Amino acid sequence: MNPAALPSFASSTTHISAHVDACGRGFISLAAALTNDQRFAAQARPEAINDEFDRFKIWAGNIAAHRKGRRSLEYRLRDAAHLKVETHNLLKALQDSLTNALAIVKGERTPWDELSDSDSDSESDSEPLGDAGEDFQSDTELKQLSASIKNTVTCLFRLSMAIRDPAPNTQSRSFITVDKSYYETHDILHVQSKFPQSDDFLTERLGRAISGRRQYLTYREEHHQKLTKNIEKIGHEEPKTEHTTNSTEASPMPVLDTKVTTVVDDSFDTLSQTSYATSVNATIRAPPLPKEAKEKEHFECPLCYMIVSIHTTAGWKQHVYRDLHPFCCTYEHCTTADRLYDSRRSWFTHELAHRTSWQCIEGCNESFRSEKEFVAHVQASHPDLAADKVISALKHTAEKSANLSEHAKCPLCSKQMTLRALQKHLGHHQEQLSLFALPPNLDETEDDPLDDEVENPVDVAKWQDEELSDISDAADASDDLDVGMENEDLSTTDIGSSSVPWGATPETPLGKLAAIALHFHTEIVPPIEAFIKNPPTDEQTRLSGYSHFSQRILNEVLEVASNVKTDGNYDASLRYNALSTEVNGLLASLSDAMNIVFDPHDRLPL
């Protein structure tokens, strides 16, 4: 897109934190004015305005929108022009709504609902908004402004979900890389008490993983405290410029210092005493769905402190397990042994890679567990096949993937079952261990049905099926493999003309993105293009339409598309990028329409 087409906010020198503080002052002033004016308080309750101010502060604190310096939202969006523009636009829209509402309450402006018929004739010339007009039409202008304030704060929450926190989501959380010696002894003993038959190397690895999760959760809490610093001062004073030597957004998890260790020391004593008392014969359950999930569209996760929109127990459990990254490799000599996985699919695919074998040519019954051993055998026993080109082709033909119907032993409890059953069985063991890292106030324990299992592997599989709704299988059911089955090839799918219906749940990332694109092109683009082509002349009506359409784009496209995991799929990444480009272009055009200035006499754009 031509940079000249971007709205004025893109080149504005106003810092995001300045907009945030201005909005804070607007909330405080409006709530105070409504408290002193009962006539308008019936249209917009001061308690409701304060509730929205609290939501606004949660949003700002969560992504450091009120801060300056390298921890600030402004700094994080330095290379994301359209997200930065959208943030500025939403904050400006919120600021305008607060200012207009305050002017009405203070008697500085007459609301349109109190204008005489002759005064309001000119307003009737503005174009209808269709759905947008229905959503934002209210009895009074103050009620409409109050609804606009609430909707804009909701849009900010949705936008924050699209601005993914790049902190330790991959580097620090997926790998165990820091000193956790204080925790490790306790956590290794816990694994040993749960699974005494496990090999020593695996017991130590799983114990270290629990310790890593503890540090990750501590890091997230400390990081959140840094981001929310001075949040209570929003609207009361100008935030000071902060000078930091290092950005915390992309840094790995820090090693706990002495002070932090002392604090964690006491809490961990409590955790170890209560958890070990029931750890052998009880199951640690995932924490219950927070009460905020039933009361609010968006809330702050008490574990990772990210803004989430989750309203089901299954969705909450899936989020908890993805925060904990519960899975790690169980093979002793794995080169990425300490890597943690958040998906059972990706973890077990890795596990099965260790079970690949190389079967020698006909007439030779030798089978090998590593490519290196196979090559050495060919060179020693079949020298006529040892030429580089021949042996290279031979390696591919000799390679055999694991058969999911073959039996294997659980490396933790030594029970025998098929590989297909082992995926869920061993995954459940690791999920249980990961929950041990949760703070004690989130723990819930119940009798463990696994303890009553019989040795029969058929019963093991049966129990796993019955337990599907109780552990992360419910949320991860779509991830259950058929390892070795390739995804449907959708590489030729045109995202603009996909036949996948909206509301369907395609199995592949490409299919999901095609459904999102279809909905975008058929349901969202047409009314927005009509709005852009003929924008309402009334500024407040135009603001309402802008807020309505921005909310739809964020909620129905950006938020949904950002949750599609491309898993390194090149074609899916291209589809996602193409859709993002279209969405950003439409948002920019919508912003341009918002900034049109009309001639007060001719009612035409200047």
Q: Can you give 498-532 as a three-state secondary structure string?
A: CCCCCCCCCCCHHHHHHHHHHHHHHHHHHHHHHHH
Tokens of 546: 């802008």
Q: What is the pLDDT of residue 116?
A: 59
What's the confidence (pLDDT) of residue 10? Answer: 39
Those residues with Cβ within 8 angstroms of residue 389's Cβ, 6 or more apart along the chain or in another chain: none
Q: Is 484 exposed, middle or buried (0-12, 13-18, 19+ CB in 10 A)?
A: exposed
What's the confidence (pLDDT) of residue 402?
77
- Give the pLDDT mean for 532-547: 80
Q: Comparing 185-194, 204-213, 452-461, 543-552, which segment has the lowest mean pLDDT? A: 452-461
Q: What is the pLDDT of residue 200?
A: 93
Q: Tell me the pLDDT band of 83, cut-offs 50, 70 and 90.
A: confident
Helix/strand/coil for 249: coil
Distance CA 10, CA 602 (A): 29
CA distance 477 to 177: 31
The residues that bridge with 418 in the sheet, in sequence order, are 407
In single-letter form, the type of residue at position 39 comes to R
Task: Answer whether residue 57 shows pLDDT above 90.
Answer: no
Rounded percentage of the chain residues whose pLDDT exceeds 70: 66
Chain segment 353-396, per-residue pLDDT in tens: 888 877 777 667 777 666 777 778 777 777 777 677 667 776 66
The C-alpha atoms of residue 309 and residue 554 are separated, in whole angstroms, by: 13
The pLDDT of 36-45, averaged and rounded, is: 81
- Our CA angle for 73, 159, 594, nearest 5°, is 100
Chain segment 477-496, per-residue pLDDT in tens: 334 333 333 333 323 333 33
Q: Where are the beta strands (DSSP E) in 176-303?
A: 282-285, 299-300
The average confidence (pLDDT) of the chain is: 71
pLDDT value, residue 498: 34
User: Regarding predicted confidence, which is higher, 385 or 598?
Assistant: 385
Q: Are strands 407-409 and 416-418 parallel, antiparallel or unpaired?
A: antiparallel
pTM confidence score:
0.53
**What are residue 416's DSSP bridge partners?**
409
pLDDT, position 415: 93
Domain spans in the chain, listed from the N-terminal domain onward: 3-163+495-594, 174-241+255-352+417-483, 356-400
pLDDT of residue 23: 92
> Of all residues in the chain, what percent are helix, strand and coil, respectively (each to 5)?
60, 5, 35
pLDDT of residue 427: 93
